[in-house]
Every structure is written in C-alpha cells, then in structure tokens.
Structure 1
Amino acid sequence: MFKAILIDNDEAGYRAQLTELAEDALPEGEVTVRVAYSTLNYKDGLAITGKSPVVRKFPMVPGIDLAGTVQASTHPDFAVGNAVLLNGWGVGETHWGGLAQLARLKGDWLIRLPAAFSARQAMAIGTAGYTAMLCVMALERHGVRPEQGEVLVTGASGGVGSVAVALLAKLGYRVVAATGRVDEAGYLKTLGAAEIIDRATLNAPGKPLARERWAGAIDTVGSHTLANVCASTRYRGTVAACGLAQGMDFPATVAPFILRGVTLVGIDSVMAPREERLQAWQRLAQDLDVAKLELMTREIGLNEVIDTAACLLAGQVRGRVVVDVNR
C-alpha cells in the first residue's frame, strides 16, 4: 500500500482526498519510481480544487512533478536505484502523477537527476523553475541581452516568477518585478529584483501601444497584463508567455508586433523535447543560486496538500512549495 492524493468525479461530486492505494492500482508504465518529493504548482492547485478542467480522466493522482528512485524498470535507460525526475508530459492530467509515494511512468518521460541537485532541490525548482529557465533561454535565443535594458517579470512572487527573477538577476539583467503583493518587495529584492511595481499598473485594459520600456519580459499572467506588457515592450523586444493566472484571453492588437517588431514567444513546458529539457536543467545547475532557491521554498507533507492548494489559488503562497510525500 502507498499514500496518495486521489481526485475523483462521479455522482458524489468532484473531490480530492488523501488515501491509501494498492501498488497494483498503478497505471501501466515501464518504470516504477519510489517518490521522495513532489511539488504543488498552479496547475496542481487547479486540478485539486476543480477550479479548471485540468484532469482529463478519473480517478487521478495529481502532481506534475516528481523526484525519486527507480524501484523497478523494463526501460533500457533506467535501472533499479537510479535517481530520476519528471516534469510534465501530461502527468497529473491524463496519467497518475507525483503526489503519491509511488508512481509508474513511461521511461521516455524521465531524466536522470542532475548531480548538482538533491531530490528536494530538484523539486524546489520543479516545473516552475524549469519553465522559468525555458523562458530565459527564449529571451536569449531572440537576442535579449542585459545591456539592452530592463526585463519585466509578471507574477513575480509566484513559483515561475520567483525563479525567473533569480535567474535573470544572476545573468546580469536589470529585473523589474510586478506583483500584487507589494509587501513581498523585500523578498523579491533579495532574489535580485532591482525594482518592484504593482500589478495594478498592468492588469486593466490599456492602450494598443504604450511608452516603450521593456527590452524583454517573462509573463506568467496572461489576459490584460500580457497585452499591456507587449504594448510597452521596446522595438524588437521579446516577451515569453508561459502562464494564465489572470486569464486565457489576450485582449490586444497587432500594433506592437507590426509597428515595433515585438516577438511574442509561447513557452510550453509540458511537451518540450527531451533535448531542450536536458539543456534547461543543465543551465539551472549553472545559473541558479541554490541559496536563493532555499529562500523561495516552503516544504509541506502530503497531508497538507489539499488545504495548501486552495491557498495557492487564492494568491496566498509565495515562491515554491515542495511536498515530502513520506510525511
């Protein structure tokens, strides 16, 4: 038997509960992993609370991340005892995920745990940090350099935003952090933000074009915020969009793209190719200050996940939430 968060949706309604399951209940897969740590991401919060139709089949164990040790394997790349991690691939949506003590997965979804990180540190980074690194790589790929000017990070107090601020600052960018929690200014400046702005300056309907300010931006929010970020991005600047905390809509015009040559890059971390994942984790090992990672991390047990998910969606959680599935 193993403990897991299980989501169901039937005549009794939509519900998530901490329960015990038999190992033979696990789905098919080539690799069985004894999970050490998972995380609680925004998508996990949506799945657990039912606020958005994240879960595509029931019952479902949520958790889009996990790190642990191979317990059994028929995949040629993994042997018993290997330390591994997983981000995305629809896990926690269409295939049982990481908020459990055991997981059975396709071997192609896994990568070896980088030597630079412990399992706990890898989950403190998690999909949020890996997504932040993909965003930074996209800005670099499109020629955004520190000397070109300020880079904006929206939703800066959240998981993706916190890691993005820390990464960009270490790489030499002047980072402006937008947040709805201005009381977190000290936290964000410790991560490396040079300036804090209130999200209220970005999240209402704005003009098709605004004063040019950002050389680049990482947006975790979507909706009016993303539209306003694009409208105020400098000529030939780049915006990496990876989230929808404000909404899925994009109430913008084509003006920033055809008059200023702004590039809007979509960041998908779920199905990103293996090579790109490996590069992102290599860069995280190189460019992320582990001391700052600890500053943005809170650890909880599996029995705290459901309550914390509601707090996460209410905007009451900063940084990263690591889940020790064995306590």
Structure 2
Amino acid sequence: MKKILSIVSGNPSGSLNIAIDISNYLKTQGYEVIDIFRKYNNTDLKGIIVIKDRCTLDYIISLGKFIRNTKPDLIIVHGYSTHIWTKLALAYSKLNIKLIHVEHNTEKYTPFRRYLTQKLDKYTNKYICVSKGVANHLIKQGIDKSKVQVIYNGIDIKKFDLPKEPHNIFTVGMVARFSKQKDQMTLIKAIEYLVKEKKEKINLLLMGVGKTRKKCEKYIIENNLNEHIKIIEGNFKDLIVKTDLFVLATHYEGLPLVLCEAMASHTPIIATNVPGVNEIIINNKTGLLVKENDVYDLANNILKMKKDLVLRKNFVHQSDIFINKNFNLQLMYNNYINKIKEMIYNE
C-alpha cells in the first residue's frame, strides 16, 4: 500500500476542507494517508497527527524527523506558508520524496518567502492551483511554470438542492469570514443606499465570524439599519434558503467555493470582479460582476437583479449547467487521483 502524507494548517478553512476531502477519497482508493496538521487541531476531526512546535525551526526539524521515520511515497502539502516549512522539512530529512504543493489562494508573498519559494522549487514536483488566477499569481513568484497545473475544487452539488423558505421581502445574503479581504462593509452600505435613498424594500442577511464583525455590527446599529440588516448564526444552508440573491463582496480570492454552493442552491449571484471569482461568475451568463469596493455599482446591480425575475431565472439555469460541468466533486477527485498515480507510479 502506497503511503501519502497530507499536510495542512489545523485552522478551519476552505483549504483544510479540500485537503480532508481529498485525503478521505484517497483512503477509499487503497492509499494509506496520514493527515498532518501544523501546531494545533482546531476542528472536531479525529485521527489527525499534530506536529506541535515552539517555533518554525522546531516544526521543520520535527516534521523532517517524521518524514524520515515514515518514508512516504508522496507528500501533498496545502497552503501558504505551510508549504515552505514542509519543503524545508523534506530537505532536512535528506530523502528523495515526491511532493505536490496545492496553492489555494492569491497569497501575499513577502520578499523573504518569495525567495524561499524559489529556492525550494527543486523540492516541488508539481504545483496544483485551484484557479487560473492563483496559478498566474504563483508563477509570478518565480517558480518553474512547467510544473503548474490547475485543478478546480469541487462540491457535492446535490447537497445544496434545498427548498427556499417563504418570505415577503427581497433578501440578499452573504456568507464569509469577517475580514479586510471580505468586504461586508461595501455590501452593507449598498443596502443602506437602496433602503434610504431609493426607498427599496430589501433585507440583508450576513453570516460569519472574524475581526471586522464588531465594526459591521456597530455601523448597522449607529445607522439604524437593524430592521433591514441582520447578522445571523448557523451555516451556509441556514442562510441560503432565506435569500433571493447571493453576494460575495471581496478583494481577492483563490477559488471561492461558496459561489458554487450558491449556484447549486439555485440562487443568482453578484460578486466582485477579481481573479478566482471571475472564473466562476461569467458576467451576464452565470451572474453579474461588479467593481471592487464600489458601493453604487453594487447597489445598482442588486436593484437590477431585484427587478428582473427573468434575468435571475436565466442566471440560475446557466449556473446549474456550468457547475455540473466544471465544479462537481467527482471531477475533482478524478483529476487528483490521475495526477497522484502519475506521480507515484510514473504512469
């Protein structure tokens, strides 16, 4: 049985979810997969090996010793900057082991980490990027572009075929971590403009946790928006069944699967025109793209969607075809298993 180390940060994230999905699938295909988290396990997942460390150097040495002891046939490492420390650990182990680096986002490489990424390119047999935008960004860091391949993430589409809950007022929703990257404030101000200036009957539901949530909550209260804008608890499915339109206001992305989930739930979408996003939202086909950080462009397009039921239905129809063709889970599994067989067996 071929042995694979699957390495990812222990913080809940999209990259962690994909890493575990791939790992679990590989286990069903006859591979021995050892799941490794760095530093902590902030999930409810069992059977994970955590490489705890006092500092980055400690992690590199500890993981290097683990690699030397387990002698895997392949290492798959997900995410920045875990991939850098894992490659250094592989160098420390002094073993010749093939490595796949999966890049999930358009990460902000510092000059030092860009330098390390270039120097460690020789320890990387394949770069798998979750979108063309991510691939182009990674190539700009100075790695060997001939090693780069794009494999889109996938979702279990049937899980999101959910009936909508009845409601009287047109409702917009956004599910995302509250952070500078995810621009909830622009969406809040767009709804405020529609309610106060355009006198539209419209509601907004937000869901997520993060550093900028309190700032958003304060703005909603101070501007008397409580009746129209609410931050609710739960998961994506709890929110999407209450909405007529899904919005992703964001400054940068790798490949936001939440858009695929919204498509699978038969909900029309507006999103900002940034790399990664614009590979899922094809403007005027699978949804509408708007300018980044532009309250009025977003507001006007929300109003356009609200008033045009035929447009919304057309986007839902086109989106259904699009995700079934490009973002289904089995397609992702097949692409990964073919690449892994090629790496391990030189097929």
TM class by shorter chain equals 0.3 to 0.5
Which is greater in Rg? Answer: 2
Is the helix fraction higher in 1 or 2?
2
TM-score, with structure 1 as normaliser: 0.34
Higher relative contact order (CA 8 A, sep 6+): 1
Higher share in strand: 1
